[in-house]
Structure 1
């Protein structure tokens, strides 16, 4: 079993590799090949499934986790706070990279392609779920991979887009979790000043 530090180093190396290959244009051949090999199923069912990687589902899931914590202990758990912070930071990174890299989507779909925001949302939910509910890890992994596959089967993302996002989510989560002792005191001071005791952490 890899230790936490070794996992983070491996995750960082893989993430950097995919980003370098993307910036160097070396993912184009793989991306085009994967896109050409994938079928184009009826988009109606896929559109429903891909919504699990959308903003609405992420917000609903986040609210549910907060409500569960507040009901159980009157405060947020550290795991939930790490998830919420990771979701925000990761989506900012995704947005910045989309604009900076300006990769067109497959088959003339509009908007920026790299990386996949839907895949990141699905993956960050999966990382949190597997940390909070260990027994749910296989289901969480299938959830993230399922969202990623819908993006590929709908031909709105390249393989490199979803691969990067699948690697980005655990990387951001690990960094946020590892540094929580640094930023948590500031978070608590802000929550205290705003009088939002329910959003303090255990």
Structure 2
């Protein structure tokens, strides 16, 4: 059996992800979610809608194709980091869909989609940020600004509750790190 070495960041993320799930399951976020939602103005503008779209599949798919192309062009194969990103994306989106059904949390604006928890857009943006900040370390800050911006747009549009985006912002890097470790990518 292969021994999986998990670093301190992974362990911290595990505690955070499990904690958010527990708080969500017990309803502990309800008051905070309502307060954040009622405090933030509804900002349904073309700019906010454009920025939120950067967390959708229309951005994720070309990004994934680009990084596969860059690996293939440079090495003639796909790197384990890129494979971890692709697997994290697929497994994560399936998990997000399953959690939406399990929790069946209504959205702040129910007319915009099915269930709220967790945010798929915030997950997509965060998994891209986790991978991009790992692959291009000097641009990590920009990658995470992108992910937080997408998450913020979901709140400003009142499509999601605070806990929805919070969970996704931590779940995506946790899953990416887990899959990197399982694929034997050594920490740098």
TM-score, with length taken from structure 1: 0.85
CA contact (8 A) 2:44 2:156 kept: no
Matched residue, 2:157: 154
Do residues 122 (structure 1) and 125 (structure 2) align?
Answer: yes
Q: Is residue 2:172 matched to residue 1:169?
A: yes
CA distance in 2, matches of 1:94, 1:128: 18
Structure with the higher fraction of residues in helix conformation: 1
Q: Which runs of 5+ in 1 are unaligned?
A: 182-202
Give the structure 1 partner of residue 19 of structure 2: 17
**Partner Cα separation in structure 1 for residue 44 and residue 64 of structure 2:** 30
Question: Is residue 2:182 matched to residue 1:179?
Answer: yes
Q: Which runs of 5+ in 2 are unaligned?
A: 1-5
Counterpart residue number, 1:68:
70
Specify which of 43, 66, 77 is matched with residue 41 of structure 1: 43
Partners of 2:8 and 2:75 lie apart in 1 by 33
Partner of 1:85: 87
CA distance in 2, matches of 1:34, 1:15: 20
Q: Which 4+ residue blocks in structure 1 deviate beyond 3 angstroms?
A: none
- CA distance in 1 between counterparts of 2:50 and 2:158 reads 15
1:53-91 alpha-carbon deviations (Å, 9 max, x no partner): 001211110001111111112111111111101111111
Q: Deviations over 1:145-174 (max 9, x none)?
A: 001001000000000000000010111011
What's 2:3 paired with?
none
Counterpart in the other structure of 1:111: 114
- Once the two structures are TM-superposed, the CA of residue 46 in structure 1 deviates from its matched residue by 1.1
Structure 1 residue 43: deviation in Å? 2.7
Q: Which has the larger radius of gyration?
A: 1
Quote the Cα distance in structure 1 between the aligned partners of 2:80 and 2:22.
33
**How many aligned residue pairs are there?**
179
Q: What's the C-alpha RMSD, in Å, of the aligned pairs? A: 1.3
TM-score, length-scaled by structure 2? 0.92
Question: What residue number does 1:94 align with?
Answer: 96
* Paired position in structure 2 for 1:144: 147
SS of the residue corresponding to residue 16 of structure 2 reads helix
